[in-house]
Amino acid sequence: MDRTHRPRRLRTDGIRPLVSETSLSASDLIAPVFVDATTDERVPIGSMPGHSRVPVSGVVERVEEVLETGVQAVMLFGIPEEKDEVGSRAYAEDGVVQRAMRAVSAETDAYVVGDVCLCEYTSHGHCGIVEDHAAEDPTLTVKNDETLDLLARTAVSQADAGADMVAPSSMTDGMVGAIREALDEAGHDAVPIMSYAAKYESSFYGPFRDAADGAPAFGDRRHYQMDPANAREAMREVELDVEEGADVLMVKPALPYLDVVRDIREAYDHPVAAYNVSGEYAMLHAAAEKGWLDLDAAAHESLLSIKRAGADLILTYFAESVAATLSADSQT
């Protein structure tokens, strides 16, 4: 038989790393950090092993731990001391995230990204102002245009507090344009927007909602987050965000939507981000605890696949552990 073509020739130890097509580094990663205004000590997150909510007084120490692994960027999520119908603590000058951003920006060299949404701050857990009687009527949802001003105010308050980038995640139509206009008017024209351009109504968010105390008190988010069945719709969403001034385009979740990551990568020159979400993190931990997977190897392979699909940036709860493994491997 003809054996002219033998791909295995390029899989020996000497040549394998030289022909490797995709690499992963700590500079690709963004680490989420949860800041809790209701506690004065770290509170472990049961559904996300290795992660905790930290008090504002401890956020600098927490971010410094991230930086020690080689990861240079963090995204801050807040748990406020109180909630109301309009999520007013999301855009308060003395809000939990704003205080945390001032501290982190002043005392560390971290690149600080702010999540711009209202779900952690509203008493009903939805991502904006809800329609009247929404609690009783499942056909009702978030008021789109009325929510835009609150998102813009939140983004400006974060930029005022030292955010290097803002990341609107509410899937509100027109959010990027409203935020870009507000930032520019406030003198923050150099602050980029990383839009959650294709955010799906996913079953993989459960542990995050535990971590950020942001689950809806009623109903669900199907009226504003995307249908998991749709890929072409994602491209329409992305096109609109690009037109409105998005600087980075994010897909959330990551692993179940690698086809969408690839489609966006091929269609746009913008940096593409993917959010390796809490459920993706938790399921690997659960399998590893059963002895079914090597956690470090599975985590690295997962992030490598996201990068291979076309993501330039990966927001992941594995950021520190994978970065530490990459560093150790480089020294051997």
Determine the residue type at 143.
K
Whether 195 has a binding-site annotation, put simply, is: no
Residue 251: Cβ within 10 Å count:
30
Distance CA 200, CA 221 (A): 9
Phi/psi of residue 298, each to 5°?
Answer: -70, -40
- Work out the burial of residue 59: count CB atoms within 10 Å of its CB; fewer than 13 is exposed, 13-18 middle, 19 or more buried: buried
Tell me if 314 sits within 8 A of 276, measured CB to CB. Answer: yes
Distance CA 300, CA 322 (A): 6
Distance CA 250, CA 194 (A): 7
Distance CA 261, CA 198 (A): 9
Whether 136 has a binding-site annotation, put simply, is: no
Among 83, 143, 199, 290, the active-site one is 199
Whether 209 has a binding-site annotation, put simply, is: yes
Whether 317 has a binding-site annotation, put simply, is: yes
**Half-sphere exposure of residue 200: CA atoms within 13 angstroms, side-chain side:** 26
Alpha carbon distances (Å) from 89 to 122, 126, 171, 280, 282: 9, 14, 20, 29, 29
Taking each helix axis as running N to C, give the angle between helix 96-107 and helix 144-160, from 0 to 180 degrees, rounded to the nearest 10: 30
Distance CA 229, CA 237 (A): 15
83 catalytic? Reply is: no
Whether 121 has a binding-site annotation, put simply, is: no
Whether 205 has a binding-site annotation, put simply, is: no
Label residues 224-243 b or e (16+ Cβ within 10 Å = b).
Answer: bbbeeeeeeebbebbebbbe
Whether 16 has a binding-site annotation, put simply, is: no
Token duo for residue 188? 């923050």
Whether 221 has a binding-site annotation, put simply, is: yes
252 catalytic? Reply is: yes
Tell me if 60 sits within 8 A of 108, measured CB to CB. Answer: yes
Among 83, 143, 252, 307, the active-site one is 252
Tell me if 89 sits within 8 A of 120, measured CB to CB. Answer: no
Phi/psi of residue 240, each to 5°?
Answer: -65, -45
Give the annotated binding-site residues for 5-aminolevulinate: 209, 221, 278, 317
Give the annotated binding-site residues for Zn(2+): 117, 119, 127
Give the annotated binding-site residues: 117, 119, 127, 209, 221, 237, 278, 317
As annotated, the active-site residues are 199, 252
Give the annotated binding-site residues for Mg(2+): 237
